[in-house]
Amino acid sequence: MTNMEPETMAPGPVAGRALLERARRVIPGGVNSPVRAFKGVGGTPRFIRGAEGAFLEDVEGRRLLDYIGSWGVMVLGHGHPAVRQALADAVGRGTSYGAPTEGEIVLAEAIARLVPAVEVVRMVNSGTEATMSAIRLARAATGRSRVVKFRGGYHGHADPFLVEAGSGAATLGVPSSPGVPPGTAADSLVAEYNDLASVATLFDAHPGEIAAVIVEPVCGNMGCVPPVDGFLTGLQRLCRERGALLVFDEVMTGFRVSRGGAQERYGITPDLTTLGKVIGGGLPVGAYGGRADLMRMVAPEGPVYQAGTLSGNPLAVAAGLATLRVLEEDPAVYEHLEALGRLFDEGFGEMGRRLGIPMRWYRVGGMGSLFFTEAAVRDWPSVAASSRARFNFLFHGLLEDGIHLPPSPFEAWFWSYAHTPADVERTLRSAEAILTRKDFPDA
């Protein structure tokens, strides 16, 4: 990385804006993933030129304490020495072969060893590929077409997942993006997260039609919203009673909330699991896996077709293996993530009580979110009721102070093995100073 030490380097005030304008001429919105555009918070995104440990450095030389972590990928921090060395070794041998490698086997063995529900796994290139492939497999295995997802959950941008709830309790999905055929969306049913009754209603309304229920076991795409007691167990019971498969989307939670993911943390064994992010160590990656009898249905062993030119890419495999080795061999990683999380728990809890500001902090493992609301947060309606204006004020105040949160009130924060207690304490001090400013919004 470039020089990381100076925190007061004179910024070039137009560099970021100039890059955004340049990017808009050739990239939609100037970004290659929508949330990066700062549409949720306003302002101009920071263009990054390097990262190390717990910090980013933008093109204007500003050092930013990072709570994005490449959206949960960087559980060890940016540029971990083991990952850098693994990549250097791998790139010296080549970048892509279009043929099998031993590294793919070792990574698959590690995933199967660490993730309780995974017996057999197929590597793909993204979380979207993983989830759409898992749903295709579930439909083939059950002979059914419909899928249940949860409002506020995100499983990539494949057509079956870009739906929102229609009217009525037993609701068919309706397209939430142009280009999604109504017929495709109609096969996606939408329930409320943490509401078992809404799922049972869908099963009752569509008997023998639902192939799978797909869920983020800890929702991370409407902020961090943990499952209430009994929710995941109830989902598993409903699926088994009604002949559907339970799919855990652990693209975000896998190796983030515990070594074996949310399924290990909560003691639930889904039929299929999707993974991504951490298993690539910072390179594009995805995977889906589960029971052997289901996964043996995937081509070339079975009739369910799925393929990918770059699946099991040797660079992604090398970075992922290096990451998983550290996670498996060093028990201090998860102890550290939990310890930092507890500092946030205590700090924001005490801060809200002392300042009299209605706010709720939720956290599981190394991910969490702050909601400006008095009511408990457990589903999309309660998330949507939180104050966006207050979050946006906090976001920009922290960014001015060199602390970069995800640029949306509906995205989880992530910290890493490279973050320190001092980093968390600095974040809490800065947040309190912002919350006590005279211009802090009333609501």
Residue 92 contacts by C-beta under 8 Å, 6 or more apart in sequence?
none
**May I ask the CATH architecture of the domain 15-79+331-435?**
Alpha-Beta Complex (3.90)
Which of 58, 149, 154, 193 is catalytic? The answer is 154
Residue type, 383: V
Which of 249, 271, 379, 423 is catalytic? The answer is: 249
**What's the pLDDT score for residue 112?**
98
pLDDT at 189: 95
- Residue 38, token pair as written in the block: 């700062």
Whole-angstrom Cα distance, residue 106 to residue 215?
28
Q: Running along the chain, 443 residues long, what does each successive block of 10 average in pLDDT?
A: 41 72 96 92 94 96 97 98 98 97 98 98 97 98 97 92 65 77 89 97 97 98 97 98 98 98 98 98 97 98 97 98 98 97 98 96 98 97 96 97 96 98 98 97 90
Map residue 146 onto helix, strand or coil: strand
Is 277 a known active-site residue?
Answer: yes
CB contact at 8 A, 249 and 260: no
What is the spatial distance between Cα 429 and Cα 174, in angstroms, rounded to a whole number?
44
**Cβ 159 vs Cβ 294: under 8 Å:** no
Q: Residue 293 has which token pair?
A: 């009898």
pTM of the model: 0.94
Q: Taking Cα atoms as reference points, which of 142, 306, 125 lies closest to residue 213?
A: 142
Indicate the angle between helix axes 314-329 and 81-91, nearest 10 degrees. Answer: 150
* Given 67, 187, 266, 277, the catalytic residue: 277
Domain ranges in the chain are 15-79+331-435, 81-329
Indicate the fold that domain 81-329 takes in CATH: Aspartate Aminotransferase; domain 2 (3.40.640)
Ramachandran assignment for 70, one of left (phi > 0), alpha (psi -120 to 50 degrees), beta (any other): left
Phi and psi (nearest 5°) for 421? -55, -35
